[in-house]
Each structure stands twice: as C-alpha cells, then as structure tokens.
Amino acid sequence: MDYDRLYDKKEKFARIKGRIAPEALESFDKSFDIEYAHNSTAIEGNTLTLIQTKAILEDGLSIGGKTLREIYEVANHAKAFAFVKKCVAEGKSLDESIAKDIHALLMENILVGGVYRNVAVRISGAGFRPPLPNEMFRQVKDFFADLPYRTDLNPIELAAWTHAEFVKIHPFVDGNGRTSRMLMNYQLMFFGFLPVSIDKETRLEYFEALEAYAVGGNLKPFAEMIAALEEIRLDEYLSIICEQPEDLSDQTL
C-alpha cells in the first residue's frame, strides 16, 4: 500500500469537504452508519439484513421474528458509534475509560458492559488462546499504557494495531470484536481519516489477517486491508466533488 497516496487523498478531502453539499455529506454518513452497524454485528452472527438494520436505526421500526438481542445489538452499535464521534469531535485521545464506555454502550440490555472478564475464554477456530484473567489484566493495562507512545506506526497502522492487539487480549466475555472495530475507527477518525466498515462477506480474509498478527505478530496484512478500505471510502467522498468540475482546478485544490 502506498501510504503517501492515502495521506494525499486525506488532505485533499480535508480541503474540499467544506464545498460538499451538507445534504450529500449527511446522506453518505447515514448510509455508512447503517452499513457499519449491519456488517459489524453480522460478523458476530447477527441475522438482521441491511434493510432490517435500516428500518431499526433510521425508521424506528420493530422487526418481527428476530430476537431482542439482535435488535439491541444494532441499536446499541449506533449509540456507541455516536459516542465515538462525539469523543473524537471533542479531541479526546483514546483511553481505557473511553474503551470501557464503548463496550458498555454496545452491551446495553444484553449484559453488564465495561467490566473485564474473570474467566478463561476460547475463540472458536482461532490458532491462539486469549490470556487467562490474571495475564489479561496485565496485558490490557500495558496496552493502554503503550497506546500514546506507538510513534513507530503511522495512523493507519496504529488503528490496525489497536484493533488487532485489543481483540487478541480479548478482555471482555463478549463484544470484543465490535469493541475492537470501534476502537480502530476511533483512531482513524482521531487522525483525520474516515471510519471504515469491514464487509461481512470478507470476514474470512479479515479473520485470517487478525490471525497473522495474533499468531505470528505480522500486522502488515491487516494494516493493508484497513488501508485499502480507507482508500475506497476517501475515493467515494472525493467522487462527490468530481461532479463539480469548477471545484477541481489545481488552483483550488
């Protein structure tokens, strides 16, 4: 991945964002929020369709034949992401308190959130075992202590590492995947990038990239996956302004 190209697109988007019609930005943002909630919960087994997710989040409708848990999962996801956007807008760096609050919002009406596990857990099909509770507590404390000092990583790599390392530690009984994806997007947005959604159809590639890090410490496959998704999102937003040729001159960009 050519990260310089990605940074150039990010800077270009920052310059032209103010010229995009608010209605267009709102439409893109709403569409992303729904797709993100759908994909992130579907990866974990939620059976709500994209249209059903939209009906819950945008239209406030109830869905027959689905469990309350599935409905809460997508509704909670929207609340948690709104919280993430609020914290980023306030310039708050990601920390342990924020991560616990995100988990608590994701787990509302499902289980008590924001509390680290005190039992051993296994991940089906994974080639690694999450640490036992005592070791997990040490690792999660080290994770948050290290977070502000990972200057060896560029922002995309840092977002990928935040996700990969947090989900490897697996500090909660449930909701680690959704929380990790929220933390990843927190980092992307904090550094001026757009949040990304990992499509449920690419979950095998996603799990394999995470496995490469968890088992072998190789962050590159996952970082490149996130970089590719980021470029797609930036291109999507930049395409809006491309429909307005008068705004594309070298003098204005």
Q: Is 177 annotated as a binding residue?
A: yes
**Among 99, 36, 110, which residue's Cα sits nearest to residue 72?**
110
Q: Is 180 annotated as a binding residue?
A: yes
Q: Is 18 annotated as a binding residue?
A: no
Q: Is 176 annotated as a binding residue?
A: yes
Active-site annotation holds for 77: no
Angle at alpha carbon of residue 151, lines to 145 and 155, rounded to 5°? 100
**Helix, strand or coil for residue 221?**
helix
**Among 82, 75, 76, which residue's Cα sits nearest to residue 54?**
75
The alpha carbon of 43 is separated from its chain's Cα centroid by a whole number of angstroms, namely: 12
What is the rounded CA–CA span in Å between residue 15 and residue 122?
A: 46
Give the number of residues written for the chain: 253
Instruction: Output the CA–CA distances (angstroms, integers) from residue 163 to 41, 179, 207, in the order listed.
Output: 16, 8, 12
Q: Is 174 annotated as a binding residue?
A: yes
Q: Which residue among 77, 103, 163, 170 is the active-site one?
A: 170
How far apart are the two ends of the chain, measured CA to CA in Å? Answer: 24
Enzyme catalytic residues:
170
- Binding residues for ATP are 174-181
Residue numbers belonging to the annotated binding site: 174-181
